[in-house]
Homo-oligomer: A and B are copies of this chain.
Amino acid sequence: MPTDPDHTFKAGKTSGATLDDVAQEAGVSPATVSRCLNNPGIVRPQLKAKVDAAIEKLDYVPHGAARSLASRRSRLIGAIFPSLDSTLFGGTLEALQCEIASAGYTLVVASSSYEPQQECNHLRNMLASGIDALMLVGAAREASVYRLIGQRHVPYVLTWVAGPDGTHPCIGFDNRAAAAAVTRHLLDMGHRRFAMISGGTATNDRAAARLAGVRAALEEHGLTLDPARTMERPFGVEEGRAALRQLMAREPRPTAVVCGADPFAYGALLECQSLGLKVPDEVSVTGFDDMWLSASLPPGLTTVRTPRKQMGALAGRYLLSILAGKETAPPSPLDFELIVRGSTGPPSR
């Protein structure tokens, strides 16, 4: 409802040449031009050249909406991330975009801000935009979301998780196993008093799986994670800092602090420095994701390297493959890698 309709911006007023214009210019039928665009192989080179020239001359750009309507494919792929304002998903996003762009697809993106309801809203929006396929992060969400994408027969893929079962196609790694791996690294060095700084587990199944992985590894040694030493916090450096301070204020102090995400660990490391605690002599700290400062922040953070870019690229490739009608094998879990640096060592005494 524009206040002043007369000044309404005229979108696409001079929208440029149409396919028919190109056909006329080239002296062929519209169908031939269409074929040059969508199936160049089946058109005589001579004609194709004339059409290409006409396209060039008129600076023709195909009209996406018209194409979508006629072909029933939008060439749009959607992706909903829990957050865009964090370096965590940036690599996945960039790799996904790069991958699908090379096949002529365009990426539409949204952030759910870790709120399930938002994800659902954005999905509706994207469905209305006519996305051909969808990438999501994590597996745990309202059933309504899966119902929605099931109804519309939109191919989709879950990232950052490995399929717990075969329910959904996943391109990711086993968060639980990865968390168990860092924990075992600590256990192997002799640690027995553990603490954990975890992301919110309520709407984040990756955080929940990591917490579960730590618990599982401890149980193998007959240990448990003290609830009083399990801090659940929103992701952030300052949150990690504050959590570590609390953890260290309570005797007996943990000798190992497992963080569910690198930013927590950065905060923990910095707070140790402030408190004058020697890392790893007095306390070992581990992170998760091997983000950009983990190698540089002294004494170097022991962490799990997660295949962030690979997930984006493979998710893209997987969806493209389905859209191309190829028989596509359900993807298998990706590898993570334990990166041992200076922040972990045997407990003192």
Bitwise interface map of A from 6 to 45 toward B, beta carbon under 8 Å scored 1, else 0: 0111111111100000000000000000000001010000
Knowing that A64-B130, A65-B66, A85-B94 touch, tell me 4 more A-B residue pairs with CB under 8 angstroms: A97-B109, A97-B110, A101-B110, A104-B125
- The reply on A225 being an interface residue by CB < 8 A is no
- The reply on A341 being an interface residue by CB < 8 A is no
Of B2, B68, B97, the contact of A324 (CB 8 Å cutoff):
B2
Tell whether, in the assembled complex, residue B129 and residue A106 are in contact, meaning their CB atoms are under 8 Å apart: yes
Tell whether, in the assembled complex, residue A90 and residue B94 are in contact, meaning their CB atoms are under 8 Å apart: no
Cβ of A324: which chain B residues have Cβ within 8 Å of it? 2-3, 8-9
Q: Contacts A64-B74, A97-B84, A129-B76 known; A153 to B293 CB distance under 8 Å?
A: no
- The reply on A152 being an interface residue by CB < 8 A is yes
Tell whether, in the assembled complex, residue A10 and residue B108 are in contact, meaning their CB atoms are under 8 Å apart: no
Cβ of A155: which chain B residues have Cβ within 8 Å of it? 9
Q: Contacts A1-B39, A108-B107 known; A296 to B72 CB distance under 8 Å?
A: no
Tell whether, in the assembled complex, residue A325 and residue B8 are in contact, meaning their CB atoms are under 8 Å apart: yes
* Oligomer: number of copies: 2
Of B12, B122, B267, the contact of A153 (CB 8 Å cutoff):
B12
Q: Enumerate A171-202 residues with CB–CB distance to B below 8 Å.
A: none
Tell whether, in the assembled complex, residue A91 and residue B97 are in contact, meaning their CB atoms are under 8 Å apart: no
Closest beta carbon of chain B to A175's beta carbon, Å: 21
Tell whether, in the assembled complex, residue B129 and residue A111 are in contact, meaning their CB atoms are under 8 Å apart: no
Closest beta carbon of chain B to A45's beta carbon, Å: 18
Q: Contacts A2-B324, A325-B8 known; A61 to B128 CB distance under 8 Å?
A: yes
Tell whether, in the assembled complex, residue B237 and residue A293 are in contact, meaning their CB atoms are under 8 Å apart: yes
Tell whether, in the assembled complex, residue B74 and residue A7 are in contact, meaning their CB atoms are under 8 Å apart: no
Closest to A240 in B: B296
- How many A residues touch B, CB cutoff 8 Å? 89
- The reply on A132 being an interface residue by CB < 8 A is yes
Tell whether, in the assembled complex, residue B7 and residue A327 are in contact, meaning their CB atoms are under 8 Å apart: yes
Closest to A5 in B: B325
Bitwise interface map of A from 123 to 154 toward B, beta carbon under 8 Å scored 1, else 0: 01111111010000000000000000001110
Closest beta carbon of chain B to A303's beta carbon, Å: 15
Tell whether, in the assembled complex, residue B85 and residue A86 are in contact, meaning their CB atoms are under 8 Å apart: no
Closest to A122 in B: B101
Q: Enumerate A34-90 residues with CB–CB distance to B below 8 Å.
A: 39, 41, 59, 61-69, 72-76, 83-87, 90
Of B124, B241, B298, the contact of A270 (CB 8 Å cutoff):
B298
**Distance, CA A16 to CA B150, complexed state (A):** 11
**Distance, CA A270 to CA B85, complexed state (A):** 25
Tell whether, in the assembled complex, residue B130 and residue A65 are in contact, meaning their CB atoms are under 8 Å apart: yes
- The reply on A165 being an interface residue by CB < 8 A is no
**Distance, CA A295 to CA B84, complexed state (A):** 21
- The reply on A322 being an interface residue by CB < 8 A is yes
**Distance, CA A246 to CA B63, complexed state (A):** 53
Of B63, B83, B121, B151, the contact of A59 (CB 8 Å cutoff):
B151
